[in-house]
Amino acid sequence: MLQSFLDVERRGHAKTHSRGATRPHSLGAAEGHSVRVVTYNIHTCVGVDRRYDPGRIAAVLHEIDADIACLQEVDARRGTGRYADQWAYLGEATGCRAIFGAGVHVENGRFGNAILTRLPVLAAQSIDLTVAGYEPRGAIDADLLLGDRVLRVIATHFGLRAGERRLQANRLMAALGGRLPRQRCEADAVLLMGDLNEWRGRTGAIRVFDRRLGPSAAERTFPSWLPVLALDRIYADGPAVLRDIGVYRSPLARLASDHLPLIGNLCWDGHAAWPRGQSYPPRRISRRAISRSKAWARLP
């Protein structure tokens, strides 16, 4: 499935990208502007009221209006219905490209990570983070075109056990430091986001990320109704810097999942798009757009 997605993407580009190749200018965010990013564990679109409602997740994503969204616990359930495959539904509902890995197959369908983005996608691959004896885990490793620069985005979801997370963190660091396939460009910056499940903070598996990428803000995102644990993280490395990382706390976000979204601005010119200390208000969304999102979720 990942390969078929990339085939479609490549047909949309006139040039082939490789090491040393000329990079065309992106149709996405202009260089020098900030890019809004979010990591969000959507809990298979089951809210804290135990109701399955992909339309609420789509509406939260509309409110945030991110250029790059890394999602965890995305589900493809067996059965019929337009929103049975959440990768396809959320991509359509947000108007973004949806990147998914080879897929983690569970008893009743497919379960894993997703990247939704407005930016052109140059390449993507899956990284297997499964540790023997534990449930399957993975990461998406994608190259996005931002202006004339390549941004490497890694979306992941770590396991529940400390030893498992240490192995997964080391595997990701090995992937970051490893040799790239011939068809991929050297990235100008790296963005790593996900639910790292590290409730112990910097004493746990994320120490290797702090050493390699610099410390991330420890914002409490779980549980959504009374957040006490900083399970979700955003890291950046390279000339781009993260500004104004914060938790998105709209009433709908508190209801739609058991995690709150963690958002930030990735700035290439070193200037924050939001003043420090200012909270993130919901971006204005029309009633028509909200109704359309809910209608998509009800379609057969």
- 10 Å CB burial of residue 216 (0-12, 13-18, 19+) is buried
pLDDT tens sequence across 145-169: 998 899 999 999 999 999 999 999 9
pLDDT tens sequence across 51-68: 999 999 999 999 999 999
Q: Model-level pTM greater than 0.95?
A: no
User: Residues of 41-54 as b/e, b for ≥16 C-beta within 10 angstroms?
Assistant: bbbbbbbeeeeebb
Residue 60 DSSP code = H
Domains defined along the chain, listed by start: 31-298 (3.60.10.10)
Residue 202 DSSP code = G
pLDDT tens sequence across 236-279: 988 888 998 999 999 999 999 999 999 999 997 544 333 333 33
Instruction: Read off the amino acid at residue 290.
Output: I
Helices (H), 146-250: 162-177, 207-213
